[in-house]
Structure 1
Amino acid sequence: MEQDTNQNKVSKADSIRVKLYWRMAVMLLVIIVGILAMLAVIVTQGWSVYKRQSAWALASQKQAVWGLVNDARFKLEEVSNMQTELQVNLDPVFGSYIGAGSDFDQLKDRFGKNKGQFNASLKEIETQIKALRGTNGDFAKLGAAVRRDFNQYDRDTNKLLNAGDSGEDAVPYEQIEQDMVRTKKSLSALKARLDQERKAMGEVKALTIEDMARTLSILVGVIVVVIAALILISMFMIQNFTANMIKPLHESVRHARALAAGDLTRKLNFQPNRIITENSEIGSLCLSLQSMSEHLNAMLRQVDGSTQRVNLTSKEIRTSSR
């Protein structure tokens, strides 16, 4: 009896609670791996979208510079037209340029305002280009060329208009025209460079939208796959665990009911599995019931043998008494 008790002692390694903890740990590990996989996909796709959005933002900045350059071209054209009007009112007879007519001062003021408006536009262009210098150094060079040529034009026109008052030698009008031509060429070169970039802007925006849509589809697909995999794995582990655990329990219940109904000859057919081993809680219960059945059967055989011997003795006594 003591030997049976030692054999039915529950082993910690085979304990159902320990195995349940292990399976819960495995499920938790699977969930963590699934979450990490989703995070990896999210980070990868998010980085791709971020790069596209950065390119989109850069394209938008270039688009803004392109608009400013176009506006500056119109303002420079106004300066050029005003320059032609000034030429008509300048008289180089005495070796210096003297304004003709009482409206010349007003004309100079208007010309100065037009130059100031172009200069303000050019400053705004330079500010926007500074944000692009890290990606496109040629924009800074082209912008610097426009600034250099316009500054030269501004200095020469100021000398031309103020020659009569300051007594300085006047700048030849041909040089003024050359300054204007150089400024226009520099500004046109900047616009041409921006025109090249502008063609790629539409492609960048289209690719960004396409990337965002594809990223969203990938993320949704990964999330669905991971969740479905987690559900299937969990269902399989739960079904496998409960099936292996419930089968010995059902067998034990049937055996107990048979004993309660008076069938003392019934034997318990216990078969250990991966979950329920002989040293687990349920395994110990089944082995105890099995041992009890064997002892009951042995007792019944002894009782049956004793009964037969008593009957035989009684028969012999009756025979001898006759």
Structure 2
Amino acid sequence: MDPQQQPSEPMAVVLARVPDGVPTPEDFRVEHVARGPLADGQVRVAVRSLSLDPYQRSTLGGRHLGDAPVGPGDVPPGRSVGEVLESQFPGIAVGQHVLAETGWRSEAVVGGAGVTPVSVPDGVPLSAALGALGMPGLTAYAAHVRQLRPSAGETVVIGSATGGVGAVAGQLARLAGARTVGIVGSEEKAKLADGPLGYDVVVRRGPGLADELAEACPDGIDAYLHLGDQETLDVVMERLAIGARVSLCGLMDQYNGSAPTRLRAGAVMAARAEVVGMVVFDHADLSAEHVARVGELLASGELVSLEDRYAGLDQTPAAFARLMGGQNVGKVVVDLD
């Protein structure tokens, strides 16, 4: 589309009601919105690909770190790759592809200082700036280099092994020479983990997990990236090797309203384990290193980027419900172009 040509009716997804547990598509609605004026220092961005992420669930009726609470009638937060339609900010040109905090909209007016030009290696889609080269990828990279710190021959277990964060973390651990074990919730995800993602062993979440992990990790678990539920965390903690490192990265069940996640203190003590909370904003200093390293791996094909793609802003509620229900396979992206 010609960057000067603006769609006649911008659209937005708003919260219709605060979800009770796992969100449903009926918790949202799509509305027409007025196109606001452009002030000095601002840019108008047409969203091309919108990122959906688990953290957004905790903003619905509540607060997630620096994000404001989202109430009925409000637009949820969200990061997008978009095309600049108009610019009143020096250095940001019409037609340029940028990364911006737009929320769940087809078009947004944002401050130019908060817009970042998108650059990806040749052959890598621009949407990778939302996934492997974006916040999920930085989360995985920071957890890998600063918290999990796997050595060759160690056993690394990744919860939500095919998700936006887990898929990158698992591949980084494998490339470091570790033996990787992926936890998945379906046969479809097991095939992806065992295939393109290259996990050494794949186990299923659920009542048989303890037995499967005992077989998969006979010498214990040296590092664990937690992205799942309380039951999975309990099982893994009982299999930790001496000196294990645990990164608490995602609390999917808690986002959906379950009881606060708790650690088995005795298991931590017995393993002399190091347990660290992961907040990606603490690791912004790794951004350039992350993009350079993971971008190189993507370009060479040594690391693959899984994307769960949807077409059209009206698919956002259903896509988000699938994500928060654990049904996504890879980084969830909604394409509007």
TM-score (norm 2): 0.15
Structure number with higher helix proportion: 1
Quick one: higher RCO (CA 8 Å, sep 6+), 1 or 2? 1
Q: Which structure has the bigger radius of gyration?
A: 1
Structure number with higher strand proportion: 2
